[in-house]
Structure 1
Amino acid sequence: MNQPHILTLDDDVNQYLLDQIKTHVWGGFSSPNDIQEMISDLLEDGCDEKRLRKSVNIEFQKKLYAEESWPKITDIDRLNSVFKTLNENGILCSHNAGYTTSDGHEISHDLLSDHPDGDFFGYCFYHGQDLECAVLRGGLYLAYDHVNGDVPEKIKVALIIQKELEKGGFTLDWDGTTNTRLCIPNFDWKHRTSSQR
């Protein structure tokens, strides 16, 4: 009788890193060198370093092969178009803004400081954890705010984003209040390697 496989800490750490590699490869924002540096930063005792480092190129090859069957226009392409329109109409939009919601707000305010007052009245972003969820499970959450913070005008920002997303062909799951983020539940994350840079 075969012995059942017992999950050890080493298994957990290796699987976590393999998931991180997959997210970064398929997320489309990281180069192979970026991911190798990430592995160096996250390595712990018991990690199978050789396997992890080898898996980067394997995962990129899987992605390149998969891209051959992707539609010409993907959801990320449509989101890029929506973000471009919003940027042109007073809402600053950012892809992959930090790792947490707090990071996203901070990065957005840094970006806003590079523009004259009045160029933007709101902003929108998704962050690294949102990207992980989109890659591994599907769906994408978008955060938003008014440049002056949690003010009554914040709902205007959300409604404009909602309108542009729906014009872009997305179906949203949102309760219509500023208490929740906008969710595109069926977002199919397909970000081409050629569009990384």
Structure 2
Amino acid sequence: MESGNGQDTLREQVETYVRLQVAIGERPYAAIVDGAVEYLDDVEDEETVEALAREVAAVEFAAHATAQAQWPEVSDADRLTLAFRALDVAGIVAREAFTCCQNCGLAEIGAEVADGETPRGYAFYHQQDAEHGADGASLHVAYGLFGQPPSAEIGAEVAAALREQGLPVHWTGDLGQRISVPLTWWRRRTGRLAAVPPTVDDDVEVEIELLDAWTGRYAPTDGPIAATWLTSLYLPWLPTGTRLRISLGGTAITVHRDWDVLVGTSAAADRPEIRVDRQDGMALVRRLRADPASTGRPAQASERAAPAERTGPGGEAGAAGRAGLLEVTWQHSAGHEYQGVPLTRSESVDVLRRMPVRTDAWMSCRGRSRGIVQVRWEERRLWLETPDPEASASFGRYVTIPEAERMIGVLATEDRVAVAELGDLVRNSWG
């Protein structure tokens, strides 16, 4: 292990890396910690790097949360995303933080074109560009035509879309230069992207086993994991219909989610199920610790889950996180689908805004009372509808992104489908 100035240098390296990744706003806590270890893979003691990364990430996530509470409702990062969606709609394939570098972006942007679509051009910035932007430098956007030399017309259209959203643009029309966008990189973190493991006195390593499929980029894998990581970074987003077994000291509990409640059941018939808020998964682990079978001795008072942790008023799980929740299934590009993920209103809107404008991109939101609002891109137009099983039909129309955001917001916060308020709906009968 390094000491003295060497240890100070290591901490500075970890702080620089973590602070930048937190600011970029694309990766959750665990991925940033893992990334720090990989980034500093020339350091012999990986455990030291990981411990530092965990410590620094907790501080930086807290600072980011405090800062974003003071940001304006619409940030430059929001404007950037809205500009890219407008370009998508106009027939220019636009991607954010796309691939690692310029060469890879140019090589792979063609794969973003769905079968049967004929876009007029492309625009993107890559991950290194995002790092520069988050570090205070101008963002640079590449543009061009597919399979042809660069086009001044496409460049001008990209620049105009950025200006339309209120972003400053520096570009002279030189085809040899990318479009420069000086901006304040304020990327909000919500939900999973804002989650941080808490510091508790009774953390413990548990074994987990997925009993059903859990799709998505950041799904957990079978094996050992710290209980605080499992219960703060993964269990709150347990997909619909997915069961997970948690084992500790020879005792196991199987967990599934019932809307905003985590339900834990034991194989032993004499042990009742436990129901806790989806954010309070540590109460499930504490039940395992309180089970005499896991320790070989009677449970101590300090290990028993307190009644307030088990239930809320009326014997139900507490109300934290209950308001504004949806179960969301979406596909952003071919082969990348997320099934039945519990998301808040802000998380759901973020999914919508980041959804590329391509025919195979779609999103379905289900409210607590099972009302559904779903959207899909069709030839660069956003179709929104709600299914009506009693009528054996769905009702909808093409909408703007703000209209879709409003419909999703009403479903999340009021638990009702407000699609009829859009007017001029089209009926699509089934069968």
TM-score normalised by L of structure 1: 0.84
CA–CA distance in 2 between the matches of 1:179 and 1:148?
17
Any residues of structure 2 matched to 1:157-196 within 5 Å, and which? 157-185=154-182, 187-194=183-190
Note the alpha carbon deviations across 1:94-125, whole angstroms, 9 max, x for none.
1111221112223312212x34241x121111
1:130 aligns with 2:126: no
CA contact (8 A) 1:39 1:53 kept: no
> Is the alpha carbon distance of 1:115 and 1:188 closer, same or farther for their aligned partners in structure 2, counting shifts above 3 Å?
farther
Distance in structure 1 (CA, Å) of the matches to 2:57 and 2:153: 43
Q: 1:65-144 residue pairs with structure 2 within 5 A?
A: 65-112=66-113, 114-118=114-118, 120-144=119-143
Structure 2 spans left out of the alignment, 5+ residues: 191-346, 352-431
Distance (whole Å) between structure 1 residues aligned to residue 158 and residue 140 of structure 2: 12
Once residues 133 and 7 of structure 1 are traced to their aligned partners in structure 2, the CA distance between those partners, rounded to angstroms, is: 27
Give the residue type in structure 2 aligned to 1:116: G
SS in structure 2 of the partner of residue 78 of structure 1:
helix
- Offset from partner CA, 1:12-36 (integer Å, 9 cap, x none): 5543332221121110100011112
Structure 2 residue 25 is matched with structure 1 residue 24:
no
Q: Is the 8 A contact 1:86 1:164 kept in 2?
A: yes
Give the number of equivalent residue pairs.
186
Give matches, 1:148-159, under 5 Å. Answer: 148-151=147-150, 154-159=151-156
More strand by share: 2
2:20–2:134 contact (8 Å) kept in structure 1: yes
After TM superposition, give the deviation of residue 149 of structure 1 in Å.
3.3
Q: Percent identity?
A: 20
- Please report how far the alpha carbon of residue 91 of structure 1 lies from its aligned counterpart in structure 2 after TM superposition: 0.5
Letter of the structure 2 residue corresponding to residue 110 of structure 1: A
| Coordinate RMSD, CA, aligned | 2.1
- Over 3 Å counting, the alpha-carbon distance change for 1:107 and 1:62 in structure 2 is farther
Tell me the equivalent position of 1:54: 55
Q: Secondary structure at the match of 1:160?
A: helix
Alignment of 1:33 onto 2:34: no
Amino acid of the residue matched to residue 137 of structure 2?
G
Secondary structure of the structure 2 residue equivalent to 1:193? coil
Question: Higher helix fraction: Structure 1 or Structure 2?
Answer: 1
CA radius of gyration, larger in: 2
| Contact residue 122 and residue 157 of structure 1 kept, 8 A | yes
User: CA 1:158 to 1:7, structure 2 compared with 1: closer, same or farther past 3 Å?
Assistant: farther
Task: Output the CA distance in 2 between the equivalents of 1:134 and 1:12.
Answer: 24
C-alpha contact (below 8 Å) 1:123/1:147 kept by paired residues: yes
Higher mean Cα deviation, 172-181 or 43-52?
Answer: 43-52
Q: Which amino acid aligns with 1:192?
A: R
Given residue 181 of structure 1, which amino acid in structure 2 is its aligned partner?
Answer: R
Q: 1:11 to 1:45 in 2, by over 3 A?
A: farther
Deviation per CA, 1:17-74: give whole Å up to 9, x if none: 3222112111010001111221232332267422222111211111011011000000
